[in-house]
Amino acid sequence: MIDLRSDTVTKPSKEMLEAMMRAPVGDDVYGEDPTINQLEALMASMTGKEAAIFAPSGTQTNLMGIMAHCERGDEYLVGQTAHTFRFEGGGAAVLGSVQPQPIDFEVDGTLSIEKIAANIKPGDDHFARTKLLCLENTVAGKVLPIAYLQEAKRICEEKKLGTHLDGARIFNASVKLNVDVRSITDCFDTVSICLSKGLGAPVGSVLCGTKELIVKAHRWRKILGGGMRQAGILAAAGIFALERNIERLRDDHDNAHFLAHELARIDEIEVDLEQIQTNIFNIRTRTDYPGLQKALQDKGIILSSPNYDGWVRCVTHLDINREDAKRLIDEVKSFFVRP
């Protein structure tokens, strides 16, 4: 099976399952799960933050982060198609009474500094109180430049805004840039990181940040139903993933690059080659996408359905190797040359 829908589809390897079985556990609501504590300490140190907290999903760690920064009637600035705004059920508004102020992304995935500044509301009872800037990295597979992050941090300090990063795929960004992940995390007060995307753990995300914000997030996690008990078996998968699966993200980037360029050579397929930086790329067929999707499915190759403008998102991950990529190319070619 070759599943290109998302990097969330990976299954734990035998070695990862063994690490999970060996994990010492305790009741994490009492703070007594040694493996959770180990994962949180590891993530805090990797990101250069004072503290970290494990939660079941990235949706939850993003929400905990926003709610740690903002109170009822506050507002956060966020990209128009950002995950926290568009794909998390409006949680910040629904559960946090925090209003999003969406801003259109630039083509490179940044929010322009001018637009950020222009959207900060004056201190006046007419307006929600602008408290937080939320960025995403990688964003649709694109890596935000470090110089941009530093500029965003500078304006937020000047305007007294907090900073949160949805870093679901932050290690794809650090590996791509060849920098320590701290060059990215240093620009934010809180950072949410998924263990269950390219890193390959089955479950879990971690929010890293200042002690003060993580204490607040801890309370919100309990209220949101994310306080788990002997969840060290999950944390063990996360530790395993952090120790083994960061540098190999390069393979996913190389495979995405290979696939995108090979597919681009097929006449019936259009590939957005400008946008490909990490493990995500977009393709569009000039003819019969449903036919292709169905034919590939019969061969054990799963592709997403197109979005509203016909582009299909493809994502590489640790369950797709170069042989798989070559097989996929062969199957696509044979679909289009059939009599």
Q: Got the DSSP string for 156-225?
A: HHHTT-EEEEE-TTHHHHHHHHTS-THHHHTT-SEEEEESSSTT--SS-EEEEE-HHHHHHHHHHHHHTT
Question: Least distance to ligand PLP from the beta carbon of 126, Å?
Answer: 32
Query: Shortest Cβ contact with ligand PLP: which residue?
Result: 58
Task: Show the binding pattern over residues 165-204: x = contacts ligand PLP (CB under 6 A), - = does not.
Answer: -x-x-------------------------x--x-------
- Tell me the one-letter amino acid at 133: L
Using the minimum distance from each CB to ligand PLP, give the nearer residue, 196 or 255: 196
Of 78 and 266, which CB lies nearer to ligand PLP in the complex structure?
78
Nearer to ligand PLP, 103 or 269 (CB): 103
One of 12, 58, 209, 232 touching ligand PLP (CB under 6 A): 58
Interacting residues with ligand PLP between 268 and 327 (CB under 6 A): none
Angstrom CA distances, 117 to 65, 103, 159, 201, stand at 22, 11, 8, 38
* Shortest distance (Å) from residue 103 CB to ligand PLP: 16
Beta carbon nearer to ligand PLP, 75 or 136:
136
The yes or no reply on residue 137 touching ligand PLP (CB under 6 A) is no
Using the rule CB under 6 A, which residue among 19, 46, 49, 83 binds ligand PLP?
83
Q: Which residues touch 210 (CB under 8 Å, ≥6 apart)?
A: 49, 50, 51, 189, 190
CA dist 210 and 247 (Å) reads: 27
Among 33, 74, 136, 324, the residue binding ligand PLP under the rule CB under 6 A is 136
Euclidean distance between CA atoms 74 and 122, whole angstroms: 12
Is 59 near ligand PLP (CB under 6 A)?
A: yes
- Residue span binding ligand PLP (CB under 6 A) among the ranges 42-50, 58-66, 90-98, 248-256: 58-66
- Would you count residue 252 as binding ligand PLP (CB under 6 A)? no
Which of 13, 37, 57, 99 touches ligand PLP by CB under 6 A? 57
Query: 125-128 contacts: CB < 8 A, separation 24 or more?
Result: 127/75, 128/73, 128/74, 128/75, 128/99, 128/101
Element (H, E) at 146: helix 146-158
Angle at 249 between CA 211 and CA 143, to 5 degrees: 65
Positions touching ligand PLP (CB under 6 A) are 57-59, 62, 83, 136, 166, 168, 194, 197, 205
